[in-house]
């Protein structure tokens, strides 16, 4: 049984990078009829953000990345929140100490700071100096209640080979690997211990993480070997980048899922776009459904090069999804996007006029607000056009058949009779009706607004 997991730290708002990771986990698990787990990694208590977990789940729900096991769903290998698993980590840390693969460290913060400063001054990578590695009185110190951490005992002079499914074998030298803290003095595990214990106990078969975690993989591999557990496949996905190739950040882009919701991006379009970050469709297709992606996706086809997040392209893609949407569906999306403030029925009538024109749901109102309220200001001064508007009002009043094509015909006729150029005539009329120089097709808009309302708006200027 294939099992993947999204290991999410609830330390902030739901990040688009988290969704990107989760998408791959989800698609791979679904493709193989496996399970997708969401685990909450809340062991760094100082960085916890209230409500972050709730927001992560509502973001996953918005994208319909439905998990099989999680804190809210339960599952056979819970709990799925790391803060509820402390005794499990403690037990395994103990086991490593007993086997001689980990040791207690009693060094004070001051001592560690000194060691770090000294190494930095010598231009070396700051690492723990293994001071407590061979101390004899460990048991005694613990008895007397001295605070301690548990550290990984990294073997000396050893080649550690890690196999990544995208990058192949990567060799590390153990001298570059720190005697990492596994269990902190407050009884919380660090990421390294927790991730190995949990992935093992939760029967994760594919450990999919962002490539920024790659440097931790020798420690992860050592832990699996020390425990005598079979390793999952290691897969490090390329991280999304800003246009300047730096890691995708809020300073250069929009990383918060809620921004995309506020802008009226469609979750399916975002997922389609994210799928293309690092993966390409075998037929070179750019637009494909979630089902198609699930059917085709394999980690083998991921490129290791960092994909660049291109908002313009996403916007284009979103527009494609809007164009493809059923009118009834788009009506519903727009209605909800504006918190049900505008008549759903009226939105429905306007959708065919603007479906080709909008790229995001938030483009709707600037284009269509005039359907819901009369113009408050006019983009062009048409106060000098009273004679023309008077004639138009008369023509309209006499019109029995209020249909876009009839309106169009009659208006053309009026323009001719008045000896006004079409472009000028319709610009004036458009501004009178909508307040704007650019609007959805005018005749159709007038039909929707109704004869009475159109007359009212024209008279408003006179």
Give catalytic residue positions: 250
Integer Cα distance of 130 and 180 in angstroms: 10
Closer residue to ligand GLU in complex, CB, 194/429: 194
Which residues would be at the binding site for ligand GLU (CB under 6 A)? Answer: 7-9, 41, 195, 209, 213
DSSP helix/strand/coil, 394:
helix
The residues, any chain, with a CB within 8 Å of residue 371's CB and separated by 6 or more, are: 346, 350, 445, 448, 449
Answer yes or no whether residue 119 interacts with Zn ion by CB under 5 A: no
Q: Among 90, 131, 184, 436, which residue interacts with Zn ion (rule: CB under 5 A)?
A: 131
Interaction partner, residue 209 (Zn ion, ligand GLU, none; CB < 5-8 Å by kind):
ligand GLU
What lies within 8 Å, CB to CB, of 12 at 6+ separation is 49, 52
Least distance CB 54 / ligand GLU (angstroms): 16
Helices (H), 32-153: 52-62, 86-99, 109-121, 138-143
By beta-carbon proximity to Zn ion, the closer residue of 130 and 324 is 130
The binder of 7, among Zn ion, ligand GLU, none, by C-beta within 5 to 8 A per type, is: ligand GLU
Instruction: Mark the segment that binds Zn ion (CB under 5 A) among 127-135, 204-212, 341-349, 362-370.
Output: 127-135
Among 48, 86, 88, 107, interactor with Zn ion by CB under 5 A: 107
Q: With binding defined as CB under 5 A, does residue 181 bind Zn ion?
A: no
Of the candidates 448, 408, 403, the one whose C-alpha atom is nearest the C-alpha of residue 429 is: 408
Q: Which is nearer to ligand GLU, 198 or 447 (CB)?
A: 198
Which of Zn ion, ligand GLU, none does residue 132 bind to, with CB < 5 to 8 Å depending on kind? Zn ion
CA 70 – CA 39 distance, rounded (Å): 6
- 404-418 and 442-449 helices cross at what angle (nearest 10)? 120
Quick check: bond before 253 cis, omega within 30? no
What is the rounded CA–CA span in Å between residue 12 and residue 217? 25
CB 449 within 8 A of CB 371: yes
Residues contacting residue 432 through CB under 8 Å, at least 6 positions apart = 378, 382, 385, 389, 457, 458, 460, 461
**Binding span for Zn ion by CB under 5 A among 50-58, 85-93, 105-113, 226-234:** 105-113
Considering the complex, what minimum distance in angstroms separates the CB of residue 11 from ligand GLU? 7
**Least Å from the CB of residue 207 to ligand GLU:** 7
When asked if residue 133 is in the footprint of Zn ion (CB under 5 A), the reply is no
176: number of Cβ within 10 Å:
12
In the complex, what is the shortest distance from the CB of residue 190 to ligand GLU, in angstroms, rounded to a whole number?
Answer: 11
Residue 195 interacts with which of ligand GLU, Zn ion, none, CB < 5 to 8 Å by class: ligand GLU
Q: What is the number of other CB atoms lying within 10 angstroms of the CB of residue 20?
A: 24
Of 124-132, 267-275, 318-326, 339-347, the window that binds Zn ion (rule: CB under 5 A) is 124-132
Q: How far is the CB of 177 from ligand GLU (least distance, A)?
A: 18
130 lies in the binding site for Zn ion (CB under 5 A): no
* Residue 107 interacting entry, from Zn ion, ligand GLU, none, C-beta within 5 to 8 Å by type: Zn ion
CB contact at 8 A, 6 and 235: no
Footprint on residues 386-425 left by Zn ion (CB under 5 A):
none
Smallest gap from residue 251 Cβ to ligand GLU (A): 19
Backbone torsion region of residue 343, taken as left when φ is above 0, otherwise alpha when ψ lies between -120 and 50, otherwise beta: beta
Asked if 184 interacts with Zn ion (CB under 5 A), we say no
Q: Could you tell which of ligand GLU, Zn ion, none binds residue 9, using a CB distance below 5 to 8 A set by kind?
A: ligand GLU
Nearest partner of 235 among 29, 14, 93, 12, judged by Cα: 29
Establish if 116 lies at the interface with Zn ion (CB under 5 A): no
Minimum CB distance to ligand GLU, residue 235 (Å):
10
Residue closer to ligand GLU by CB (options 199, 268) is: 199
What does 105 interact with, of Zn ion, ligand GLU, none (CB < 5 to 8 A by kind)? Answer: Zn ion
Q: What minimum distance in Å lies between the beta carbon of 232 and ligand GLU?
A: 11
Buried b / exposed e across 223-238, counting CB within 10 Å, b at 16+? bbebbeeebbebbbbb
Residue facing ligand GLU at closest CB distance: 9
| Cβ neighbours of residue 29 closer than 8 Å, sequence gap 6 or more | 2, 3, 4, 35, 36, 68
CA distance 275 to 302: 10
Contact set with Zn ion (CB under 5 A): 105, 107, 131-132
């Amino acid at each position: 049984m294939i099992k993947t997991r999204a290991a999410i730290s609830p330390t902030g708002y739901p990040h688009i990078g988290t969704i990107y990771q989760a998408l791959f986990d989800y698609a791979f698990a679904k493709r193989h009829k496996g399970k997708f787990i969401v685990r909450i990694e809340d062991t760094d208590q100082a960085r916890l953000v209230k409500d972050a977990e709730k927001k992560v789940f509502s973001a996953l729900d918005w994208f319909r990345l439905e998990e099989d096991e999680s804190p809210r769903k339960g599952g056979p290998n819970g709990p799925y929140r790391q803060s509820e698993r402390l005794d499990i980590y403690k037990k395994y840390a103990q086991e490593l100490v007993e086997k001689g693969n980990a040791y207690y460290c009693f060094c004070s913060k001051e001592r560690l700071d000194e060691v770090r400063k000294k190494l930095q001054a010598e231009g070396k990578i700051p690492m723990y100096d293994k001071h407590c590695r061979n101390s004899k009185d460990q048991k005694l110190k613990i008895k007397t209640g001295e605070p301690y951490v548990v550290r990984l005992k990294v073997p000396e002079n050893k080649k550690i080979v890690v196999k990544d499914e995208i990058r192949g074998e990567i060799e590390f030298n153990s001298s570059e690997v720190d005697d990492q803290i596994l269990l902190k003095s407050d009884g919380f595990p660090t990421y390294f211990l927790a991730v190995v214990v949990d992935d093992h106990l939760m029967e994760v078969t594919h450990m999919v993480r962002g490539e920024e975690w790659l440097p931790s993989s020798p420690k992860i591999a050592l832990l699996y070997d020390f425990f005598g557990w079979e390793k999952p496949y290691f897969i490090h996905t390329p991280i999304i980048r800003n246009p300047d190739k730096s890691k995708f950040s809020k300073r250069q882009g929009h990383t918060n899922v809620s921004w995309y919701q506020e802008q009226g991006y469609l979750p399916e379009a975002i997922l389609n776009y994210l799928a293309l970050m690092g993966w390409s469709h075998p037929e070179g297709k750019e637009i494909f459904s979630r089902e198609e992606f699930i059917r085709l996706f394999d980690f083998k086809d991921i490129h290791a090069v960092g994909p660049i997040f291109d908002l313009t392209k996403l916007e284009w893609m979103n527009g494609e999804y809007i164009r493809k949407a059923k009118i009834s569906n788009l009506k519903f999306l727009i209605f909800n996007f504006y918190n049900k403030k505008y008549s759903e029925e009226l939105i429905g009538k306007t959708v065919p006029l603007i479906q080709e024109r909008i790229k995001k749901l938030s483009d709707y109102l600037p284009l269509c607000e005039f359907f819901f309220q009369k113009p408050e200001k006019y983009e062009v001064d048409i106060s000098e056009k009273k004679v023309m508007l008077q004639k138009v009002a008369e023509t309209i009043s006499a019109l029995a058949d209020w249909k876009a094509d009839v309106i169009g015909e009659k208006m053309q006729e009026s323009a001719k009779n008045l000896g006004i150029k079409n472009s000028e005539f319709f610009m004036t009329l458009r501004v009178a009706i909508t307040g704007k120089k650019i609007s959805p097709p005018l005749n159709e808009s007038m039909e929707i607004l109704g004869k009475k309302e159109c007359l009212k708006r024209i008279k408003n200027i006179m």
